[in-house]
Amino acid sequence: MRVYDLKPHLGLFFILAVLLPSVILAMIGARAINREELYIARRYEAAISAEVRHAASLVSSELNKIEDDLSRSAPEYGDMAAKLRSWPSVQPLARIPFLLSNQNEVLWPTGNTPEEKEFLFWNMDFFANKAKVPDYQNIAQVYQEKIVSPPQKTQSQRTYAADQEFSVSSASQDSSYDRQMAQSRFDQYEPVREQVYAEAKKEGQRVETRNVLGRQALNEGSAKMAKGIAAQEDNRSLYISKRRKFKEITGANTQGIIPRFVDDKLSLIFWKKISGEKVVGCVLSMTQLRQRIIGVLPDIYSKVRLLTVLDQNGRPLISPLEDTKRDWRRPFASREVSELLPRWEVAAYLNDPAVISSQANFMSALLWGLIFILFASITIGGILILRAVNHEMALARQKTTFAANVSHELKTPLTSIRMFAEMLKEKRQADVQKQEQYLDHMVSETQRLTNLINNVLDFSRIGQGRKLYNMKSLDLAALCREVAENQRVGLESVGFKLELKVPGLPLMVKADSEALKQVLINLLSNAQKYYGEKKDIEVEAAADGAWACVSVKDRGIGVPVKHAKNIFKEFFRVDDALTSRVKGTGLGLTIARMIARDHGGDVVYMDREGGGSVFQLRLPGDI
Ligand code: ADP
């Protein structure tokens, strides 16, 4: 298959291999851009949620420390009355100390102050197991078994458990793994959550309501928002409660903290079993508690978000003064703190919610820009490559024709020279005049050959910049006359009329005479080759301002307008019936122009009025 046979398929190839993939690429890019806002929101959410989770675990472990601190400072023996009285000054967390007998009667306080009276009023019946209070529990822990049932474990987890079989801590590791698993499944999967809440309701548990719009809802919300569906608010708490008696809550434990809502005010009651089955305890100082919690919170402000803890009323424990208009109910990310602090939340708010959309817009603009550049460069690149390939293929085609033409051009004169030479040698022609004619033919054919070879050699020399010119001041008019007269015999022998219009005054130029002769011979030989009905050639030399010009005018077939620009290109030949009757190399005009330009001039083509062509050599005059 020759190279240029591929040409018709190239366009199709370009569309399939370049244009189509880039359109698909652009479409994929566009889809990705649409998801950009959601993606950025998710990224922020993931980072901020992690901070919130961390803060919640800090607060929760601080509550454990508080419990330990109270337990360590709680009086257990000796002069209990004195010790209970001084407990708050030893441990500021202890606000109203109390002591219960083994019958759960309140031995202390005695109700001397209004505060103590109020305490007794609210708690006496509860301690005596006559009244019940809500006992808060983490739903994911209570229904852990249901959430993480054994068949759902994967093979690798089972193997892991088997490896741990002989380890003492295997049971506890497994259960803490299950607890975490249960919590994350509960957080992440809507169906699991629904199922567990339904179960809790069936068991008579009360599902609390959160103070804020939950993280899960927000997460789904952003996904739904992206799909254009209104987000459903889910503010069910992780903590469920069931009313229980004091002894049911304490059970087999030795100490603990019970949260109680009294008149919508939260109070925490610390209790500890001591010797003689008595119970000592205190109401926690909420001011102290708040301070200890604030103390463990990590950086509250960052460039991006504000992180704080909301109390049971949804009010922040700590917030900047100017932050009065914020809707505390709608954090960007939040997490409930602990069953000891029902309705408390660790919540984070974006400083500038518009940051997500502006970042997304910036990213979109950037991506669109990149897609556009990519698309444009692929298309432009493709077109340029296509053009280059087309050009190369045209050149390859021209070179092939050139090779065929050159061999033909060489063969024809050689054959006729040989034929005449043989005839003369064998003395077959006795007529002296005829013999002269044969010799003339041989001379003109040799000239044609020389000219052809000169053209081919010059083409490669000029192309490689190796052509040397012997520049001298010379008279263009005289040179023109010399070349024309040399050609006259040849031309007139084939029926041409050559008219010379050369001025008597010299037209001085600085040039290489041999090179200029070749230009003129090329132009004259074209005028001869592309003849028309009238075989008239006119050679005119004249000054045109500072230029010295020679025009070779013919009445030949002329050059079609659309090819006028191309005839000077290497190997180019007009591709029509009139031209193709004559063989040529497509180099004559190329070389003529190259030589003229090397002399600071040019060769130009013009239509001739009344039909035919005018080729004009223009050179700067040498004054
Ligand atoms: P060649 O004559 O060997 O084909 P050229 O470079 O001399 O190569 O010419 C290039 C083309 O320009 C020719 O093939 C022909 O089509 C056109 N051409 C050149 N001179 C003339 C002319 N005097 N009249 C008409 N066409 C011409």
| Residues 581-603: tens digit of each pLDDT | 787 888 899 999 999 999 999 99
User: Alpha-carbon distance 226 to 35, whole Å?
Assistant: 8
Q: Which of 412, 567, 608, 614 to mutate to test the pocket of ligand 1 (most atoms within 8 A of CB)?
A: 567
**214 in Cβ contact with 236 (< 8 Å):** yes
Which residue ranges have their beta carbon within 6 Å of ligand 1?
526-527, 529-530, 554, 556-559, 567, 572-574, 579, 584-590, 613
Mention every residue, 6+ apart, whose C-beta is less than 8 A from residue 383: none
Q: Which residues contact 374 (CB under 8 A, 6 or more apart)?
A: 22, 25, 26
The whole-number average pLDDT for the span 76-92 is: 93
Number of C-beta neighbours around residue 113 at 10 A: 11
**Lowest-pLDDT range, 2-16, 205-219, 253-267?**
2-16
* Structural contact between residues 246 and 53, judged by C-beta atoms closer than 8 angstroms: no
Find the 163 Cα to ligand 1 centroid distance in Å. Answer: 93
Cα gap 257→247, rounded to integer Å: 13
Centre of ligand 1 to C-alpha 567, Å, is: 7
For the residues 569-582, what does the mean pLDDT come to? 82
Query: Which domains can be identified in the chain, with CATH numbers?
Result: 446-620 (3.30.565.10)
Q: Which atom of ligand 1 is nearest to the CA of 586?
A: 8
Predicted TM-score (pTM) above 0.75: no
Ligand 1: residue whose CA is nearest its atom 12: 567
Ligand 1: centre distance to CA 574 (Å)? 7
Whether the CB-CB separation of 269 and 258 falls below 8 Å is answered with: yes
Question: Alpha-carbon torsion 69, 72, 77, 78, what sign?
Answer: negative
CA angle 583, 587, 588 (to 5 degrees): 85
Phi, psi angle pair for 449, to nearest 5°: -60, -45
Would the pLDDT of 301 be above 90?
Answer: no
Q: How far apart are CA 275 and CA 219, in angstroms?
A: 51
Ligand 1 atom closest to Cα of residue 579: 16
599 alpha carbon – ligand 1 mean position (Å) = 22
Question: 26 or 232: whose pLDDT is higher?
Answer: 26
For residue 178, what pLDDT band results from cuts at 50, 70 and 90?
Answer: confident
Ramachandran sector of residue 314 (left: φ over 0; alpha: ψ -120 to 50; beta: rest): left
Residue of 408, 529, 576, 608 with the most ligand 1 atoms within 8 Å of its CB, for mutation? 529
Provide the 3-class DSSP secondary structure of residue 203: coil
Q: For residues 499 and 26, which has the higher predicted lDDT (pLDDT)?
A: 499
Whether residue 489 has pLDDT greater than 80:
yes
The model's pLDDT over 499-522, given as tens digits with 9 standing for 90+, comes to 999 988 899 999 999 999 999 999
3-class secondary-structure state, position 239: strand
Distance CA 86, CA 75 (A): 10
What tokens were used for 330?
Answer: 């709608």
CA-CA distance, 106 to 123, in Å (whole number)?
A: 9
Q: If residue 79 lies in a helix (H) or strand (E), which one and from where to where?
A: none
Statement: residue 79 has pLDDT above 60:
yes
How many Å lie between the centroid of ligand 1 and the Cα of residue 450? 18
Query: Residue 561 in 3-state DSSP?
Result: helix
How far does the centroid of ligand 1 lie from the alpha carbon of residue 397, in Å?
18
- Check whether 89 has a pLDDT greater than 90: yes
Which pLDDT score is estimated for 169? Answer: 41
Span 554-572, average pLDDT: 92
Amino acid identity of 357? S
Q: pLDDT category, 290, cuts 50, 70, 90?
A: very high
- How far does residue 526's CA lie from ligand 1's centre (Å)? 6
